[in-house]
Amino acid sequence: MNLQLLKEACEGITWIEPASSEYDEARHIYQLDHTAVPLAIVQPTTIDDVALVVKSATQHGIKFTVRGGGHHIMGRCIEQDTLTIDLRKLDSVEVASDRHTAVIGGGANNLQVARVLEKEGLATPLGLVATVGFVGWATLGGYGSFMNQWGLGVDNIVGAKLVTWEGKIIDANEEVLTGIRGAGGAFGIIVSLTVKVHALEKVLAGGMLFAPQQFKPFLQMLEKEASSFPPALQIGTAVFNFPGKGRVFRAELLWSSPDLEAGYEAIRRLKSLSPPAIVDDVSETALSTLIEKITAMIPPAYGGNETVSFGTFDDEALEILDQCITAMPNDPATVMALHHLSPISPSARTLSPQEDKRSSWPLHCGHTMIEIIGSVTDKTDKANKAKSRQWSVESRDALRRSAKSLEETYISMTYPGDRTLAQVYGSKWENLKALSEKYDPHGVFELAVPRIRSGMA
Ligand SMILES: Cc1cc2nc3c(=O)[nH]c(=O)nc-3n(C[C@H](O)[C@H](O)[C@H](O)COP(=O)(O)OP(=O)(O)OC[C@H]3O[C@@H](n4cnc5c(N)ncnc54)[C@H](O)[C@@H]3O)c2cc1C
């Protein structure tokens, strides 16, 4: 059998099959509803191992998926009857001698990146959930910490090392980098990514908790004032069901400049413009501590996300959002989260048309990406699960009817099958298809996210 031949070709590399006692742990991913059983999970520890696995899998006609942190919303890093290439052992993080960039291993996660950089007094934009893979996060967009100050994850990528469809190890040229910036591993397995890093010892972090009806006035304020806050102030918002407290709305704040006094001042101003909060807490902390704290609050989830992005909100859009929140089911895993990219972010403001052309990311403008998380914590409560999922789909459809919603959606949060990739990537789609034909001529990476060959998200 071809799989046996592949296993023999990969001798010396950890190989875990479904019958193995290590299988369940190795297969575990964020999306607990995804039950696909891969043929085997292979865990390379070196770049040469990755090259050997790709070359041998292609030779023996075995399809594969790539697993980083395992946090694709619907578990696309694992598919039935394919090989899973698990990169988690490629988790090195090395700061360049000039301290302007760092080389991040293809399987390193957000917390590992934050910890190493922090020890050096440095930081880079990253997501605030510890176990999300850094490369998967950054290459597909990368909303999160510091994006108003230093830009989205995708706009901090300056280089990459890949294993190509032929199993060759290459440094990405400018064309391949254009593809990687927005479409991740569709052109090869990214064994390392080089990103910009910035001086930062610690952050000011915390937030304000409000009654849910304050969501609309807070967003109205943000709509008006976003450009007046310093770029070092990152504001995220979410409505969720807090165990014991009921439905709440939280504004998550993060200050990323060494000038902490200016941070306290900006937060004081934000509070003075905001509706009254039930609780507010802001303190100085290490970024890794914040990541650990946030990650501990993420419940196990069964279900699925939907997404819509908005350039700006008008009264009608805010009214629809308000209605979605009122209709939100009560499960602790059901959430509406908004990622606000301020018009003053380098990803929206200072990026030149030439830089935009060197990227497949479609939304270099101020906008808000809305995550509509229709998940539940208890998979056995089928009625509750169906209700949460239905709410996420209905909210998505209602929001899309607003004239202010954007055609493009965030690939990482787009439910598989919901949009064509032409819709997701807008003006960048035709070039992406051409790059895929050129650098993956036989569709070896057709199961990557995004699945360019299928044309669907
Ligand atoms: C709880 C949670 C929180 C999240 N928070 C945020 C957030 O704050 N901001 C945000 O923008 N997104 C967020 N996301 C979305 C997340 O960033 C993306 O789904 C991301 O792609 C996950 O990367 P991963 O490596 O963990 O996932 P995986 O499921 O392991 O990988 C997904 C796909 O990415 C590709 N891939 C990953 N690594 C490589 C590599 N080294 N080489 C080639 N291809 C690779 C593969 O095609 C793979 O199938 C979140 C998702 C979850 C579930």
Q: What is the pLDDT of residues 290-346, one digit of tens each?
A: 999 999 999 888 999 999 999 999 999 999 999 999 999 999 999 999 999 999 999
Q: Is 132 close to ligand 1, i.e. is its CB under 6 Å away?
A: yes
Q: Is 190 close to ligand 1, i.e. is its CB under 6 Å away?
A: yes
Q: Is 133 close to ligand 1, i.e. is its CB under 6 Å away?
A: yes
Q: Is 412 close to ligand 1, i.e. is its CB under 6 Å away?
A: yes
Atom 7 of ligand 1, residue of closest alpha carbon = 127
pLDDT at 280: 87
CA distances from 188 to 45, 65, 277, 343, 413 (A): 17, 11, 48, 33, 22
Name the percent of the chain lying above pLDDT 70.
Answer: 100
pLDDT band at 391 (very low <50, low <70, confident <90, very high): very high
Atom 15 of ligand 1, residue of closest alpha carbon = 412
Nearest CA to 195 out of 134, 145, 146 is that of 134
pLDDT at 308: 98
Burial 11-48 (b: 16+ CB within 10 A, else e): eebebbeeeeeebeebbebbbeebeeebbbbbbbbebe
Q: Which of 67, 86, 191, 334 to mutate to test the pocket of ligand 1 (most atoms within 8 A of CB)?
A: 67
Burial 217-237 (b: 16+ CB within 10 A, else e): ebbeebbeebeebbbbbbbbb
Q: Is 106 close to ligand 1, i.e. is its CB under 6 Å away?
A: yes
What are the extents of the domains in the chain? 2-86, 93-199, 203-413
Is the Cβ–Cβ distance between 206 and 281 less than 8 Å? yes
pLDDT at 314: 96
Please identify which residue in the block is written with the tokens 């292979």.
42
Closest approach atom of ligand 1 to CA 447: 47
Q: Is 69 close to ligand 1, i.e. is its CB under 6 Å away?
A: yes
φ and ψ at 334, to 5 degrees? -90, 120
Is the Cβ–Cβ distance between 202 and 382 less than 8 Å? no
Q: Is 140 close to ligand 1, i.e. is its CB under 6 Å away?
A: yes
Closest approach atom of ligand 1 to CA 67: 30
Chain-wide mean pLDDT for the chain? 96
Nearest CA to 254 out of 278, 218, 289 is that of 289
Is the Cβ–Cβ distance between 85 and 189 less than 8 Å? yes
Token pair, residue 80, equals 């039935």
How far apart are the CA of 314 and the centre of ligand 1, in A?
Answer: 31
What's the rounded Cα separation, in Å, for the pair 327 and 333? Answer: 15
pLDDT > 90? residue 135:
yes
How far apart are the CA of 348 and the centre of ligand 1, in A?
Answer: 22
Atom 34 of ligand 1, residue of closest alpha carbon = 136
pLDDT at 361: 97
Per DSSP, 146 falls in state T
Please identify which residue in the block is written with the tokens 């919303």.
73
Name the percent of the chain lying above pLDDT 90.
Answer: 95
User: Domain 203-413 maps to which CATH number in 3.30.360.10, 3.40.50.300, 3.40.462.20, 3.40.1440.60?
Assistant: 3.40.462.20
In terms of phi and psi (left: phi > 0; alpha: psi -120 to 50; beta: otherwise), the region of 184 is left
How far apart are the CA of 154 and the centre of ligand 1, in A?
Answer: 13
Token pair, residue 35, equals 């039950």
What's the rounded Cα separation, in Å, for the pair 176 and 187? Answer: 7
Nearest CA to 209 out of 230, 239, 243 is that of 239
DSSP β-bridge partners for residue 32: none
Atom 43 of ligand 1, residue of closest alpha carbon = 185
What's the rounded Cα separation, in Å, for the pair 104 and 126? Answer: 12
Q: Which of 156, 409, 412 to mutate to test the pocket of ligand 1 (most atoms within 8 A of CB)?
A: 412
Atom 53 of ligand 1, residue of closest alpha carbon = 71
Closest approach atom of ligand 1 to CA 413: 15
Per-residue model confidence as pLDDT tens digits over 85-111: 999 999 999 999 999 999 999 999 999
pLDDT band at 252 (very low <50, low <70, confident <90, very high): very high
What's the rounded Cα separation, in Å, for the pair 23 and 106? Answer: 21
pLDDT at 1: 64
CATH says 93-199 is which class? alpha beta
CA 423 to mean position of chain CA atoms: 19
pLDDT > 90? residue 349:
no
How far apart are the CA of 300 and the centre of ligand 1, in A?
Answer: 17
Domain 2-86 falls under CATH 3.30.43.10: yes
Helix or strand holding residue 16 (H, E): strand 14-16
What's the rounded Cα separation, in Å, for the pair 225 and 236? Answer: 14
Q: Is 126 close to ligand 1, i.e. is its CB under 6 Å away?
A: no
Find the mean pLDDT for residues 15-40: 96
Is the Cβ–Cβ distance between 410 and 372 less than 8 Å? no
How far apart are the CA of 410 and the centre of ligand 1, in A?
Answer: 12
Is the Cβ–Cβ distance between 121 and 199 less than 8 Å? yes
How far apart are the CA of 374 and the centre of ligand 1, in A?
Answer: 18
Atom 40 of ligand 1, residue of closest alpha carbon = 190
How far apart are the CA of 69 and the centre of ligand 1, in A?
Answer: 6
How far apart are the CA of 328 and the centre of ligand 1, in A?
Answer: 26
Find the mean pLDDT for residues 160-175: 98
Closest approach atom of ligand 1 to CA 369: 11
Q: Is 188 close to ligand 1, i.e. is its CB under 6 Å away?
A: no
pLDDT > 90? residue 352:
no
Q: Are strands 233-242 and 279-285 parallel, antiparallel or unpaired?
A: unpaired
Find the mean pLDDT for residues 219-240: 96
Please identify which residue in the block is written with the tokens 């009921």.
246
